[in-house]
Structures are given as structure tokens and as C-alpha cells.
Structure 1
């Protein structure tokens, strides 16, 4: 009897492991479809309270869906256009960055004895001719080949966002008893990201002002990048710190070169430990380990889009599974309730 029970449990555990592996493989294989679809659903959830308010004011559903689709599309396009100057500035500074990195590598290599001998032996063993040059800029043919894939993802994003906003209430009603919890989860996620957006805007302004006062080049662009990347917790601020460390090494000398990343670290720690808890509150707090693992998993699964949608999906699931959020909406204390 005991052996039968253990074997049954073992089978269930193995089936669960195989199910998780199969689902993960399916999600990664269907990235071209599921990534833009998930991004559209997340945006639809974030703007859902606004859609409900417009519907209560008597605005037709079709007009609500079209207006929110236009607003979200303009928001995404504006974010991409705002990132473009940062990318262009990075491209312009690539020669200087390569020079600084090369000098740092040379200094580190000089501390290791015999490094040149080892590298020569490896080169003689492998052969210099076996190393192929890396392709720099994609050709026109490659760009034309990738264009249909990009357009199809845009089409999936636009269609999913429009029809989800148009039929969200009807879809939720099909769940029966889950209708109220789904609506509350949408409101909780929307309120959270409304607060985070305000915090990130303040973080960007403060970062730009402090870096400008310190004499850092492209201070406004650094503030913009900090504001946008702060949506991706942990990884976003880490990328900004690495970038500012490189920028400090390019522009300054001595100990003053580490000033830009230290200034941003102080600003980010103040935002993460004081400002964000005051704006969001303990009710929406999440386990840092779960947040970090979710972002890493999303980044590995779907790239940048996966890292962006990981946090709202985790938050949405947390609200759905938390029994505290089964209270009626009027009993839930939220500082942003009057806004949304």
C-alpha cells in the first residue's frame, strides 16, 4: 500500500514537472504570437479602470476601445521615440567606450603573468582563420525579411488590445463568481502602475537634475532612460548604474569618475525604500525574490517584452490568489482610489 502511494505521488510529481517543461517550451516557441498578445493584455488591464469610467459616463464601447487603442499606441510609439536619442548617443560614444574598455582590459591583463603566452597558444591551436568576422549592420534583404514578422506582431498587438478593451466586461462575466475578483485585480494593477508611473517620472526628473548639477553629459537623456528602465525592477537600475559608470570613466578622471553611479544609486535607494512604499503601500508589496525570478524568467523567455510583462502578470496573479483582496472595493484602503 505504501509503495503504491509513493509511486502514485512520484508519478504526479513527474507529470507536474513535464507539464511545466512543456508549457515553458510552448511559450518560448510561440513567442512571436504570445509576446505581443501578452503586452497588449497588460496594457488593456492597466487602462481598464479608465475604460470602466468612460462606459459609466455613457460613452459607447466601440468609442472607448478605439480611443484607448489610439492612446496606448501613441504611448508606446512615444516611448520608442524617446529611447531613440539615448540609442543614438550610445552609438556616437561607442568609439570612446571601446577605447576605455580596451584600456581597462589592458591594465587587467598586465597584472596576469603569462596571459599573452596563453593567448598565443590558444590562437595557434584554434587557428586565426577560423574566427569569422561578426556581421555589423543588417543588410536591406535581412530588413525586408524581418519586416513581415514585425508587422504581424504589431497587428497582433493592436487587435488584441482593441478586442480585449471592447469585450473585457463580457469575457469576465462568463467566469461567473470570478467576475468581481477579476475586476478588482484589474483595478489593483492599474492603481499600482499609476503610482509607479508617477514615481518613475519623479525619478527621471531628479536623476537628470542631479547629473546635470554634477556636470555629466547627456543628463536629460540619462534621466529619461532611468525613468523608462525603472519599470523593469532591479535589472533596469543596474543597467543605468553600469552605463553611468562607463560615462563617468569616459568623462572624468580619478575618484570623480565613480560619482555618477554613486549619485544614481543614492537616488534609486531613496526611491525604492521611501518614495515607492509611501505611494504604493504594503498592500501591494511583493516578495523581492519572486519579482526578481519572474523578471529573469520573462527576459529569458521573451526578451525585453517578457521582462516588461513579468511584473504586472505576477502582480495580477498575486491579487487573484490573495484572500485579502476578496473584500468589497469600498473596504479596500487605496490612496489612488479617488484618481482611478
Structure 2
């Protein structure tokens, strides 16, 4: 009897594992459809309080959906236009960065004994790549090949966002007793990201000012990148620190080369441990390991879009499953505790 129960339990565990593997595989294979769909749903949830306020003022639903769609697309376009100089700068600086990397490898190879051959091979490889003119911009043929798929994803994103904003009330009303939980989750996520947006804007401005005072080139662009990437917890600041480390090594020499990443690290620690808890509050506490794992999983599953939507989906699901996590009062907001 005991052996039968153990075998049944083992069978259930194996079926659960197989189902999880199949689900992950399906999510990965369907990323070109699911990634823009989930991204649109997340943005629809974030702007849901604005939609509810406009509905309360008597604005027709169709007008609200069109207005918020145009406003959202305009903000996304503005963000891309602001970030584009940073990518152009990175492309222009690639040869210089490669030469600097070759120099670091040469310096390191002189300090490490017994691996001269490996170091020489790496150095020659990097030096050859630096000497050859390369471009990180796709060719016209590559762009034409990727254009239909990208256009399809944009079409999915626009359609899902428009119809979600237009019919969100009807969708939630059809869920019966779960309607209030969904609405609480929407408000929690929206208020959280409204507060975090303000914090990130402040972080970007202060980062630009501090890096300007330190003499770092393109400090305004670094501040903009810090504000945008800080929406991706852990990974975003790590990317900025890595980028500033390279920028410092390229621009400065000696210990001063590590000043830019050190300054940003101080700013980020201050923001994460003092400013964000003060502005956002501590109503919603989540395990840092869970947050980091979710972001890494989203990045692996759907790329940058997955990393962006991982935290909102985690917040929304957490409030739906535990309504007590939702904030109390009109001015409260949830907080993801990362300390």
C-alpha cells in the first residue's frame, strides 16, 4: 500500500514537472505573440487609473482607448528617440573600446605566468577585430528580413493595448468574485510604477549632474540610461555599472577610471535603500531572490521585453493571490523590498 502511494505521488510529481517544462517551452516558442501581448497588458494595467478617471468624467470609452493608445505610443517613441544617441555613441566608440580591451589583456598577460599562449591568442583575436572595420548596424537585407516580423509584433501590441483599455471593465466584470481582486491588483501596480517613475527620474537627473561634475563624457546620456534601466531591478543598475566601468577605463587612467561606476553605485544604493522606501512605502514586500529569479527568467524567455514585464506580472499576480498586499488609502503604494 505504501509502495502504491509512493508510486502515485512520484507519478504526480513527474507529471507536474513535465507540464512545467511543456509550459515553459510553449511560452518560449510563442514569444513573438506572447511578448507583445503581455507587454501591452502590462502597459494597459499601468494606465488603468487614468482610464478609470476619464470614464468617471464621462469621456466615451472609445475616445479614452484611442487617446491613451496615442499617448502611450508617443511616450514609447520619445523614449526610443532619447535612447538612440546612446546606442549610436556605443557603436561609434566600439573600435576605441576594443583597442582599450586589447590593452587591458596585454597588461593582464604580463602579470599572469604560465598562460602566455592563451593570452596571446585572446589578444590577437581582439586586436584583429579592432583593426577590422565593423558595423553593429544590420544591413538593408537584414532589416528587410526582420521588418515583417517586427511589424506583426507592433500590430499585436497596438491591438491588445487598444482593446484591453476599451473592454477592461467588461473583462473583469465577467470574472465574478475575482473582479475586485483584479482591480486592486491594477491599482497596486499602477501606483507602484507611478512612484517608481518619479524616483527613477530623480535618479537620472542626479546621475547626470554627478557624472558631469566628475568630468565623464556624455553624462546626460548616462543619466537617461540610468533612469530607464533602473526599471529593471538588479540587472539594470548592473548594466549601468558595467558600462560606466568601461567608459571610465577608456576615458581616465589609474584609480580615477573606477570613479564613475563607484559614484553611480553610491547613488543607486542611496536610492534603493532610502529614497525608494521613503517615496513608495513598504506595503508590498517580496523576496529579493524571487524578484531576481523572475527577472532573469523573463530575460531568458523573451529577452529585454521579458525582463521589463517580469516584475509587473509578479506584482499583479501577488496582489491577486493575496489581496491583503494591496495598499490601503488613496495615497499608499506597494513596495518591492530589495534590501
Looking at structure 1, the residues matched to 75 and 63 of structure 2 have their Cα atoms a distance apart, in angstroms, of 18
The Cα offsets for residues 56-97 of structure 1, whole Å up to 9 and x where unpaired, read as: 111110001000101111111111111101111112221221
Displacement of 1:251 after TM fit? 1.4
User: Does the 8 Å CA contact 2:281/2:332 hold for their aligned counterparts?
Assistant: no
The Cα offsets for residues 113-154 of structure 1, whole Å up to 9 and x where unpaired, read as: 3434457899xxxxxxxxxx9996533222111110010000
Looking at structure 1, the residues matched to 273 and 201 of structure 2 have their Cα atoms a distance apart, in angstroms, of 16
2:37 alignment partner in structure 1: 37
1:158 alignment partner in structure 2: 158
Looking at structure 1, the residues matched to 18 and 114 of structure 2 have their Cα atoms a distance apart, in angstroms, of 48
1:127 alignment partner in structure 2: none
1:126 alignment partner in structure 2: none
1:320 alignment partner in structure 2: 320
1:55 alignment partner in structure 2: 55
User: 1:148-297, aligned counterparts within 5 Å?
Assistant: 148-297=148-297
**Is residue 69 of structure 2 the alignment partner of residue 73 of structure 1?**
no
Displacement of 1:256 after TM fit? 1.2
User: Does the 8 Å CA contact 2:283/2:325 hold for their aligned counterparts?
Assistant: no
The Cα RMSD (Å) is 2.0
User: Does the 8 Å CA contact 1:184/1:325 hold for their aligned counterparts?
Assistant: no
User: 1:5-16, aligned counterparts within 5 Å?
Assistant: 5-16=5-16
User: Does the 8 Å CA contact 2:37/2:160 hold for their aligned counterparts?
Assistant: yes
1:128 alignment partner in structure 2: none
Displacement of 1:3 after TM fit? 1.5
Looking at structure 2, the residues matched to 201 and 135 of structure 1 have their Cα atoms a distance apart, in angstroms, of 32
Distance 1:249 1:20, change over 3 A: same
Displacement of 1:98 after TM fit? 1.0
User: Does the 8 Å CA contact 1:199/1:275 hold for their aligned counterparts?
Assistant: yes
Structure 1's unaligned 5+ residue stretches are 123-132
User: Does the 8 Å CA contact 1:49/1:187 hold for their aligned counterparts?
Assistant: yes
User: Does the 8 Å CA contact 1:40/1:158 hold for their aligned counterparts?
Assistant: yes
The Cα offsets for residues 177-198 of structure 1, whole Å up to 9 and x where unpaired, read as: 0000100100000000000000
1:111 alignment partner in structure 2: 111
Displacement of 1:335 after TM fit? 2.9
Looking at structure 2, the residues matched to 135 and 202 of structure 1 have their Cα atoms a distance apart, in angstroms, of 35
User: Does the 8 Å CA contact 2:229/2:237 hold for their aligned counterparts?
Assistant: yes
Structure 2's unaligned 5+ residue stretches are 123-132, 334-339
User: Does the 8 Å CA contact 1:299/1:307 hold for their aligned counterparts?
Assistant: yes
Q: Secondary structure at the match of 2:215?
A: coil
Q: Secondary structure at the match of 2:283?
A: helix
